[in-house]
């Protein structure tokens, strides 16, 4: 990594210099306030010292020695090996088990096949299929009606629907690259265009200049103010500055979810639980097991509902339902494309069930 120290009067000035020299992908490694000596301890001048870095790829000029495998129980490598072993075990189990369809009479095969394709949890498919069998639902239309009812019941304790507009701050968390900033832009655009709300943005993603620019662009389009927050003091100032606004969206840096400390620090930075609605954004293209780990990592935070993105990039939405049921979390929105503000759907219980069962008639005729 190429590293360089910058000293400037203010953080924005330092960022400007860094961007000019290192480009948009520069990473801020550390920053601190420094004071010049001054005269007899007086007239000290405050400036900001920022250490910035830029990843550069270093190619080894000879083949590296292969490391001997040592399993340290706390290392990431070990947990990844364990996880892979678990996956292999599950795969072997699923090969040994008779196909789920084979356990039921033929008239149920189309529906079971569809639910499997959608990657609904096998346990849920079995529960639905048992009920269909017991209630003697023979035709696909009967089965669909029954399944819709069954799933609606299953989801009836979870809450669905977007921003409540009852709390001022909308806090959006989630791992890297899932679409947090884009989704904020979509939600904010709706709040402005449809609900005529006065909105503002706060970003705590001060690590990447490109990320700030991305949110600034959306804020600019909506003619909404944006504050970049480096400390709790900045945050309080932003809250004060946004006193007159109806709704404030808080964009956070997508960090590796394993860095739970990062999220904890963030919670310390944003301390206003009472007036905040917090959403956890997940990409529906991720592996279900990985999403489970993420949700578990975030359990100590007041996650109101989930948001699933990129459903246009997946053919199976069963995982979404599996996770909602398993973790007892409702759904605020799902997003189905890159276009802002169009590609976002406010979630409803019926809607998600319909989505799961969509296309089954085509499968039957094919
Ligand atoms: N196909 C598709 N792409 C999406 C959707 N939502 C977001 N994206 C794309 O996903 C990419 C990442 O989106 P961002 O909004 O920058 O994601 P982020 O979570 O803010 O990322 P970081 O801030 O880097 O953690 C962009 O190219 C978006 O256009 C969606 O619903 N469907
Ligand atoms: Mg972002």
Q: How far is 87 from 93, CA to CA, in rounded Å? A: 10
Bridge partners of residue 97, in order along the sequence: none
Q: Give the pLDDT confidence score for residue 25 in this predicted structure.
A: 74
**pLDDT value of residue 282:** 97
What pLDDT does 366 receive?
47
pLDDT at 61 over 60: no
Q: Which ligand has the nearest atom to the CA of 337? A: 1
Q: What is the reported pLDDT for 63?
A: 45
Q: Cα of 319 to ligand 2 centre, how many Å?
A: 24
Share of the chain above pLDDT 90, in %: 53
Average pLDDT, the chain: 85
How far is ligand 1, taken at its centre, from the CA of residue 146, in Å?
Answer: 36
Ligand 1 lined by 87 (C-beta under 6 Å): no
Burial of 157 (0-12, 13-18, 19+ CB in 10 A): exposed
**Does 313 contact ligand 1 (Cβ within 6 A)?**
yes
Residue 162 has pLDDT above 60, yes or no: yes
Name the percent of the chain lying above pLDDT 70. 84
**Residue 94 pLDDT:** 59
Q: Quick: pLDDT tens for 269-314.
A: 766 567 899 999 999 999 999 999 999 988 878 899 999 999 999 9
Name the more confident of 117 and 49: 117
Cβ pair 285, 313 in contact under 8 A: yes
- Tell me, rounded to whole angstroms, the distance of Cα 75 from its chain centroid: 25
pLDDT tops 80 at residue 29? no
Lowest mean pLDDT among 20-29, 254-263, 301-310: 254-263
Confidence band for 55, pLDDT divided at 50, 70 and 90: confident
Six-digit token pair at 49? 């010292």
Residue 176 beta carbon below 6 angstroms from any ligand 1 atom: yes
CA of residue 196 to ligand 2 center, whole Å: 25
C-alpha span between 267 and 313 (Å, rounded): 31
Residues in CB range of 308: below 8 A, 6 or more apart: 281, 282, 283, 284, 317, 320, 331, 333, 334, 335
Contacts 24+ apart (CB under 8 A), 267-272: 267/301, 268/232, 269/204, 269/229, 269/231, 269/232, 269/235, 270/169, 270/171, 270/204, 270/235, 271/232, 272/169, 272/239
């Amino acid at each position: 990594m190429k590293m360089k120290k910058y000293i400037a009067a203010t953080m924005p000035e330092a960022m400007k210099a860094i961007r000019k020299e290192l480009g948009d992908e520069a990473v801020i490694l550390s920053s601190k306030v420094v004071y010049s000596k001054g005269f007899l301890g007086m007239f000290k001048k405050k400036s900001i010292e920022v250490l910035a870095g830029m990843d550069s790829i270093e190619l080894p000029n000879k083949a590296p020695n292969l490391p001997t495998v040592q399993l340290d129980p706390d290392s990431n490598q070990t947990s990844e090996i364990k996880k892979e072993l678990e996956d292999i075990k599950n795969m072997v189990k699923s090969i040994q088990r008779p196909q789920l369809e084979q356990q039921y009479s033929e008239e149920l095969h189309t529906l079971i096949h569809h639910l499997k394709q959608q990657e609904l949890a096998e346990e849920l498919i079995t529960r639905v299929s048992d009920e269909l069998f017991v209630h003697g639902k023979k035709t696909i239309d009967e089965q669909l009606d029954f399944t819709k009812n069954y799933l609606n019941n299953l989801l009836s304790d979870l809450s669905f629907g977007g921003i409540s507009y009852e709390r001022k701050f909308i806090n959006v968390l989630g791992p890297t690259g899932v679409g947090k900033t884009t989704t904020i832009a979509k939600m904010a655009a709706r709040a402005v265009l449809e609900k005529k709300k006065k909105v503002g943005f706060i970003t705590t993603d001060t690590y990447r200049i490109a990320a700030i620019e991305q949110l600034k662009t959306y804020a600019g389009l909506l003619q909404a103010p944006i504050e970049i927050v480096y400390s709790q003091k900045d945050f309080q100032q932003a809250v004060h500055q946004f006193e007159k606004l109806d709704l404030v969206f808080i964009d956070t840096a997508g960090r590796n979810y394993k860095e739970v400390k990062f999220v904890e620090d963030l919670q310390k930075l944003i301390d206003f639980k009472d007036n905040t609605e917090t959403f956890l954004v997940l990409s529906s293209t991720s592996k279900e097991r990985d999403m489970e780990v993420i949700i578990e990592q975030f359990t100590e935070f007041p996650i109101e509902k989930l948001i699933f993105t990129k459903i246009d990039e997946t053919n199976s939405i069963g995982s979404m339902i599996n996770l909602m049921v398993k973790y007892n979390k409702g759904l605020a929105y799902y997003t189905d494309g890159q276009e802002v503000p169009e590609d976002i759907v406010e979630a409803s219980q019926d809607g998600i069930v319909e989505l799961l069962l969509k296309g089954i008639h085509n499968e039957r005729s094919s």
